[in-house]
Amino acid sequence: MSFKAFLKKCLMEYFVITTCVTAAIAILGQALDPTARFGYEAYWSPLTFGFVGLIPSFITYSRKELSFQQALLRKAIHVVVLEVTLVAFGFWVGILHAFSDTSLFMLSVFIIYLAVNLISWQFDKKDAGEINKTLKSLQGRSEQ
């Protein structure tokens, strides 16, 4: 994958991540601290976490084609680095204070990670469906 294509993919993922972070904040906030009040600065939170969450994505970038095992290994390393980076960032900006917060936060990050990958998978599945449809039409037409 070219670096340009990789950045394009990151940009698409960024929007998915920020949406998922917003949803996670809403769900966790309503469940854990429903009376909390905050100002406009709170809107920066999903954007910032989305950006910080994208930085470890460079682990998955490779100019060369990775084998299935290499890709799987990089994904595993990516999720670990992602968790560590976001937890460290969370403590640094002061939204995390205790272990109980951290474990819930890490679970949210993992769920968002799965959601982003699932959405990406769904796009690929849709493309595969269209390709299969066109292939069938092409092969059927040529058999006539």
Partner 1 sequence: MKVSVKQIGRGQEEQAIILCYEVNENVKNIVSYIKAAGDTLAGYVDERVSQISLQDIFYVEAVDDRVFAYTAKKVYELKCKLYEFITLFENRRFFRCSKSFVINLMKIDNVRPILNGRFLATLFSGEEIIISRQYVPELKKRLLGENI
Q: Given the complex with partner 1, which of 32 and 128 has the nearer CB atom? A: 128
List the one residue from 32, 42, 93, 124 that touches partner 1 (CB under 8 A): 124
Retrieve residue 15's tokens: 């929007």
Q: Given the complex with partner 1, which of 45 and 60 has the nearer CB atom? A: 60
Q: Given the complex with partner 1, which of 1 and 25 has the nearer CB atom? A: 1
- Residue 17 C-beta: closest distance to partner 1, Å: 17
Count Cβ neighbours within 10 Å for each residue of 31-47 and write b for 16 or more, e otherwise. eeeeeeeeeeeeeebbe
What track of x and - describes contact with partner 1 for positions 54 through 83 (by CB under 8 A)? Answer: ------x----xx-x--xx--x--------
Residue owning tokens 């949210």: 108
Task: Return d(Cα 39, Cα 43) in angstroms, integer.
Answer: 8
Retrieve residue 142's tokens: 């040529």
The answer to whether 16 and 119 have CB atoms below 8 angstroms apart is yes
Residues that bind partner 1 (CB under 8 A): 1-2, 5, 9, 60, 65-66, 68, 71-72, 75, 120-121, 124-125, 127-128, 130-132, 134-135, 138-139, 141-142
